[in-house]
Chain A
Amino acid sequence: MAQSQAEIAPVLTHRPSRTPKEALQEWLPKLVLAPSFAIILIFVYGFIIFTAVLSVSGSKLLPDFSTWVGLGNYVRLFNHPNWITALKNLAIFASLYIIVCSVLGLGLAILLDQKIRAEGLIRPIFLYPMALSFIVTGVAWKWFLDPGIGLEHVMQDWGWTSFSFRWIKEGQYAIYTIVIAAVWQSSGFVMAMFLAGLRGVDNEVIKAAQIDGASTVTIYRRIIIPLMRPVFLSAFVVLAHLAIKSYDLVVAMTDGGPGTATWTPALFMQKFTFGRNEMGMGAASAIIMMMMIFAIIVPYLYSELGGKNERR
């Protein structure tokens, strides 16, 4: 019975106490938590407010709290070709990254789920890129896709002399090379999420479907994949979040180039704030990034935590 109540209820809350020592014991939990909470309040939420204030100020090289421009920075931002490029790149990058990672992740997970002999060997190989820094990934792919020494050179060396692959040097296509590297880094992780989801499917449901005469393909298509909805959602949230923050990989591979062809919002923020002394616009771009992320994360967390509370 009170099992459920006990969980909602505090294990021990305030009670008038006798000795100073007991009083200390009572306040100790809050005293222990307080510094962390204060730090988060200041360093996260205080700083967000600080940045929000900067974004409506006329700050250039340094924070400047004497001139106010209202939404001027945001207007300039959305009229700036570099920001528009960054947004376009984000749209291309994020949608391809999410779709390819999900398809690849699910596909590999299903293949690995067919009682594969060497699963214990293959799975870690799919996943290890996740342990690498984006900078390392960027270096590896930057040179591998470099026409001078990389893939193009290799193909020509093997006799396919007309082979050409110089996307990384071409403004129109460079963003796709970043997708290739990012997918390489993250798809194994998405595979692991799907594999965990597949392994969590109730065996009896599948047996029932087999008795009903469903083929393997039908069982996946009609029963298992629909059950993976929460995994798709989690994968989407994680990948979208990573995509919006993408910065290191771009810096390492192209540093935004050629020209401004591979700028992303994160790169824009960095370059405008610290490179071009446009702190107001930089702050505005950071606020926009945060709004994009919160638009995805907040409903997700709300449904996750809300659902948990109901279950209690």
Chain B
Amino acid sequence: MSVASQDNATRTGVFARAAIYTVLILFVVYYLLPLYVMVVNSLKPLDEIRAGNMLALPQQWTIAPWLSAWSTAQIGVSPTGLKPYFLNSILMVVPAVAISTVLGALNGYVLTKWRFRGDNIVFGLMLLSCFIPFQIVLIPSARILGELGLAGTVTGLVLIHAVYGLGFTTLFFRNYYEAFPTELIRAAQIDGASFFQIFRRILLPSSGPIIVVTVIWQFTNIWNDFLFGSSFSSVDSIPITVALNNLVNSSTGVKEYNVHFAGAILAALPTLVVYIVSGRYFVRGLMAGAVKG
């Protein structure tokens, strides 16, 4: 809806329109400014940042900070750049997203189409689990990872992210399948299709949008996670966010701002690309995650 109808708009006048556009443009600048600062300064030599103006374009363009951030910058004790940690994140994200999405889809299917006594309690408990502050599970999680022999491994992080993503993936699929006509399931039952046949042949082909939404949501959340990564990783399983923080907040040596900015963009790149490519689904996931609980 829009209140300003055609003639209303003319009455409000050019003046008001101009004011609206001015305010909007100011906010566009506000939202873009940090990104601009990061990009511009990641392409400058360090002394130009120190001596010059952060908002100015580089006088001397260089990609050296990017190369450094990727492969040679000092992170923790070793000068490896962000590359190995980027790979860690990929190794962590892909299986965790896959596992939690598949389980969420099956859970949503059972909770809407094969209902049983107490199913609402099961769902309620899974839903509530989305909102716990993860601080409350940190200590026991560390212990159980230790007992499973997964402490400080990528596998351990995969397990943790899959487990604590389950609530959300189940919620997404349940809400989506709730609106899926139950008569179709009944028709398939009369046609003799089994539990998994119904899922695979009837439900799954119609689940494209919600799969995309769920995968994007999980990918973004797990890639951007810092708490679990910083709590449960060891030297060779550190994910990118933790590595970036180590790079920026290391107390020794010279602060290489340009490398920090390049590293920050590298860490943000996968989720930014996902957002740019499929922003519509990204927003839908945010909404579903927020409004529905």
Contact B54 A252 (CB under 8 A): no
Residue of A nearest to B182 (CB): A11
Q: Are B137 and A47 in contact (CB under 8 A)?
A: yes
Main secondary structure of the interface of A (DSSP, over half): helix
Check: A241 CB closer than 8 A to any chain B CB: yes
Q: Which residue of B lies closest to A199 (CB)?
A: B1
Smallest Cβ-Cβ distance to A54: which chain B residue: B139
Shortest Cβ distance from B257 into A: residue: A143
Instruction: Using C-beta atoms within 8 Å of the partner chain, give the interface range for chain A.
Output: 35 or more
| B196 partner residues in chain A, CB cutoff 8 A | 28
Give bound CA distance, A135 to B244, whole Å. Answer: 8
Nearest CB of A to B274, in Å? 7
In the complex, are the beta carbons of B137 and A33 less than 8 A apart?
Answer: no
1/0 per position for A13-39, CB-CB distance to B under 8 A? 110000000000100111011011101
Are the CB atoms of A25 and B194 closer together than 8 Å?
A: yes
Q: Cβ of B31 and Cβ of A248 under 8 Å apart? A: no
Distance between Cα atoms of A161 and B96 in the complex (Å):
52
A71 within 8 Å of B (CB atoms):
no
Complex interface bits, B1-33 against A, C-beta within 8 A gives 1, otherwise 0 = 111110011001000010011011001101111
Query: B61 at interface (Cβ–Cβ under 8 A)?
Result: no
Contact pattern, B 130-169, Cβ under 8 Å of A = 1, otherwise 0: 0111111111110110000000000000000001101100
A188 CB–B CB distance under 8 Å? yes
Q: Is B64 an interface residue (CB 8 A)?
A: no
Q: Which residues 266-293 in B have Cβ within 8 Å of A in the complex?
A: 267-268, 271-272, 274-276, 279, 282-283, 286-287, 290-293
Give the B interface residue count (CB, 8 A).
Answer: 108
Q: A14: which B residues are within 8 A, CB to CB?
A: 116
Q: Are A111 and B244 in contact (CB under 8 A)?
A: no
A40 close to chain B: CB less than 8 A: yes
The interface residues of chain B lying within 8 Å CB-to-CB of A151 are 54
Q: What is the CA–CA distance of A298 and B283 in the complex, to the nearest angstrom?
A: 25
**Is B189 an interface residue when CB atoms closer than 8 A count as contact?**
yes
CA distance A210 to B8 in the complex (A): 10
Q: A269 CB to closest chain B CB, in angstroms?
A: 4
Does B53 make an interface contact (CB < 8 A)? yes
Beta-carbon nearest neighbor of B53 in chain A: A157
Give the segment of A75-83, A93-101, A114-122, A163-171 that binds chain B. Answer: A114-122
Contacts of B282 in A (CB 8 A): 130-131
Known A29-B116, A210-B8, A252-B245; judge A39-B272 contact (CB<8 A).
Answer: no
CB distance from B92 to the nearest CB of A (A): 14
One digit per residue, 1 when the CB lies within 8 angstroms of any chain A CB and 0 when it does not, for chain B 202-234 equals: 000000000000000000100111110011000
Residues of B within 8 A of A102 (CB): none
In the complex, the answer to whether B3 meets A220 with C-beta atoms within 8 Å is: yes
Interface assignment of A226: CB less than 8 Å from any CB of chain B: no
A28 to B111 CA separation, bound complex (whole angstroms): 13
Closest to A28 in B: B195
Q: Which of A43, A48, A131 contacts B164 (CB 8 A)?
A: A43
Contact A139–B260 (Cβ < 8 Å): yes
Cross-chain contact B27 with A126 (CB below 8 angstroms)? yes
Q: Which residues of A contact B (CB under 8 A)?
A: 6-7, 9-14, 25, 28-30, 32-33, 35-37, 39-41, 43-48, 50-51, 54, 63, 108, 111-116, 122, 124-144, 148-151, 153-154, 157-158, 184, 188-189, 192-193, 196, 198-199, 201-203, 206, 210, 216, 219-220, 224, 234-235, 238, 241, 244-245, 247-248, 251-252, 255, 266, 269-270, 273-274, 279, 282-283, 285-287, 289-290, 293-294, 297-298, 300-301, 304-305
23 contacts across the A-B interface (CB closer than 8 A)? A10-B115, A11-B114, A40-B126, A40-B163, A44-B164, A45-B129, A111-B24, A116-B24, A122-B28, A124-B279, A132-B268, A132-B272, A133-B223, A139-B38, A216-B4, A219-B3, A241-B131, A248-B227, A248-B241, A252-B248, A283-B139, A286-B138, A293-B133
B interface, CB within 8 angstroms of A: 1-5, 8-9, 12, 17, 20-21, 23-24, 27-28, 30-35, 37-38, 41, 49-50, 52-55, 103, 106-107, 109-111, 113-117, 122, 124-129, 131-141, 143-144, 163-164, 166-167, 170, 182, 185-186, 189, 194-196, 220, 223-227, 230-231, 241, 244-245, 248-249, 257, 260-261, 263-265, 267-268, 271-272, 274-276, 279, 282-283, 286-287, 290-293
A114-B2, A293-B132 given; name 10 further pairs at CB < 8 Å: A43-B164, A44-B129, A48-B132, A136-B241, A138-B245, A143-B260, A153-B54, A189-B286, A219-B3, A286-B135
